[in-house]
A = this chain, B = another copy of it.
């Protein structure tokens, strides 16, 4: 259709006619307003009257057209393409506008062809968003394809991750080594670097992992926050060493998800002026036209959230409008910008464009052929025209120059501001400062009992002094989660150098923003907090931390029925088990001061694995036998009176219940038995220990084992064996003082002793 646009002739024009009609009629029903472009199409050249032009300089001169003529072309042209009628001549030397058109169609067809070859994937978005992709990657964004991790690059997030072929095509054209032609041909195949949704851990150049809708825009808020924060901390009036934009494309689906509203509300509140979000307004989702479920005024909502909004009425072909919108967005520095770009999903497909059928399935060979004709694309699959290749090749040189320029600025900065430069470079090294862990407090049984949420605050505040990257906060529970860094103020619009984040009651966005902060890969170590029960609200973000190797620290307090009166809506039961079941997530439940320090040691060291710390509301004594370093073992012996690794009974506890196991051990010993008490602070870490170590803690021969934990017993059989006894809570809790709940539910020393005795016969 792009060809038809500037060279609409013969049957090509006829083929596109229906699409024009359909767009026009659609336009009418959606009341797109007084756009000067007819139906979003610009018709230029002979044979079809030119439309009126909002941006007249965008008119594309029409190359000479030979109706019905074809002649052999350079390598790559399809020899036997079933062209029903006319094709269009390509001039040896393209004008800039033709080149843009060619580049955009290259993106479209790389997507079409890859999806077709995989017979799986989502061609609709790349076809509709190819103009945005081209403009961003070829004209606007600053990056270095040969160093995808260059710090000062612009960040791009495809929140509508199913359209990943858009990004892969752009990365390929831009010269990223991670997406070679062979990778495009392996789209969605085993071990390819081009998986079905963008995955940062598979494909350098992809910043974050998206697909679950709405995550990406929240990640983008995190990336923009990181830039804003670091710029405020390190930039000087004469040296902007932190200076990049964050771009994001969201779809209708992202905008329906609650997480995106949460994230957008925060971005508006924080005034993240360098965040520019494109809303691919194609009014099609999987179930059909968005009219069936999504009739809100999205732009007005973003206005209400404090964003600057722009509407590009014809995102299909009005490239200058897209360019102008980006310029306008950049000129608004105190608000994030949402550019609604009205597009046609599957643009160019004569029979499937503007319908859900083009969203998530291969076009099919017949429709691919029809689209090739329609867009005047007479090439074989996966073909990149030489002009396009040659044009895009500049990015390798330009990217290197950008990075080198920035390195020079940094060197100059270093001379003038050595202290700041040292901190900045230390952050960017992603290395932890030497001896950082010494900041963590250690405890003895003489220290007063305290809630692990309070001990956690002590750790966070100790770490904040030694870890320049530590930044974080709570979802409106700072005073309950105990997460305030006392030496810092709030990160706010006017104080972005500060490190306490105020997420409001927006748990899901909080998790995803934290992922974005971490995956800015600038040494920031985000932590975030809420009640443990509300991990239910941010679970997918936590899973994406685990999947995308983002070592976010989740500070989750009020971790059991021990929170008492707030009742079952607030009392986690199944949550420990549910995270133990999640791959790559470290689920830590420290029992006292030393273990809380140890949990933070583990969490900070694990920069590619998220950690969830389950912390108590209630006070816990500091137990003899716990230690900071033992936490890294996952499970370890806290007390024992056996000598031959054959105790009569093994009592296992975690967190607030370790104390109960500990006391039960003392009682059993007084009755002449040998008892070992084991703290099982992190199952995942225990699993990683050697068989010998595991045997030294849980010898196979000892079948009498009792576990106690204020949560579901689900999963404990693994460590208890068929004969052991799990004490826990396999039902919902209740609203009552914690002490009463513990007693009523049998989480007591007596019950542990009884269970042990029963096992001992």
Interface residues of A (CB under 8 A from B): 118, 120-121, 161-162, 188-192, 195-197, 199, 209-214, 252-254, 256-262, 265-266, 268-269, 285-287, 290, 292-298, 300-301, 303-306, 356, 474, 476-480, 490, 492, 502-509, 533-534, 536-537, 539-540, 543-544, 546-547, 564-570, 573-574, 577-578, 580-584, 712, 714-715, 717-718, 721-722, 730-732, 734-737, 740-741, 744
Chain B: CB-nearest residue to A252: B505
- Does the CB pair B286–A269 fall under 8 Å? no
Closest residue to A213 on the B side, CB-wise?
B505
Q: How far is the CB of A117 from chain B (nearest CB, A)?
A: 12
CA distance A256 to B268 in the complex (A): 13
A303 touches B300 (CB 8 A): yes
Query: Of all chain B residues, which has the CB nearest A509?
Result: B258
Q: Which residue of B lies closest to A730 (CB)?
A: B583
**Would B265 and A256 count as touching, CB distance under 8 A?**
yes
Report the copy number of this chain in the oligomer: 2
B296 near A268: Cβ-Cβ < 8 Å:
yes
Q: Assuming A262-B258, A539-B536, is B583 touching A196 (CB within 8 A)?
A: no
- Decide: A297 and B304 in contact? CB cutoff 8 A: yes
**B residues near A295, Cβ cutoff 8 Å:** 268-269, 306
**Set B192, B269, B476, B569: member contacting A197, Cβ < 8 A:** B569
B565 near A188 with CB under 8 A, answer: yes
Contact A570 B293 (CB under 8 A): no
Closest to A215 in B: B569
Q: Given the known A-B contacts A285-B476, A287-B476, A577-B577, are A209 and B569 also in contact in the complex, defined by CB atoms under 8 Å?
A: yes
Contacts of A741 in B (CB 8 A): 190
Q: Given B161, B287, B294, B504, which contacts A256 in the complex, CB threshold below 8 Å?
A: B504
**Smallest distance from the beta carbon of A303 to chain B beta carbons, Å?**
7
In angstroms, how far is the closest chain B Cβ from the Cβ of A723? 9
* Cα A540 to Cα B569 with chains together (Å): 9
Residues of chain B within 8 A (CB-CB) of A306 are 295-297
Q: Nearest 9 pairs between A and B by C-beta?
A: A258-B258, A195-B735, A293-B504, A211-B569, A300-B304, A536-B540, A190-B736, A574-B581, A578-B578
Give complex CA distance A195, B566 in Å: 8
Please judge, given known A-B contacts A256-B506, A293-B503, A504-B293, whether A477 and B287 are in contact too, CB under 8 Å. Answer: yes
Minimum CB–CB distance from A482 to chain B (whole Å) comes to: 12
Q: A287-B474, A715-B715, A744-B190 are in contact. Are A262 and B257 (CB under 8 A)?
A: yes
- B253/A712 in contact, CB under 8 A: no
State which of B188, B581, B731, B740 has its C-beta within 8 Å of the C-beta of A578. B581
Which residues in B have their C-beta under 8 angstroms from that of A509? 258
**Chain B hits for A543, CB < 8 A:** 536
Residues of B within 8 A of A190 (CB): 734, 736-737, 740-741, 744
Pairwise interchain contact A262-B268, C-beta atoms closer than 8 A: no
- Within 8 Å CB of A539, what residues of B? 536-537, 539
Given contacts A265-B294, A537-B540, A573 and B583 within 8 Å (CB-CB): yes
A-B contact pairs, 9 of them (CB 8 A): A120-B564, A195-B734, A199-B568, A285-B476, A287-B477, A287-B478, A300-B304, A536-B539, A722-B722
A344 to chain B, nearest CB (A): 19
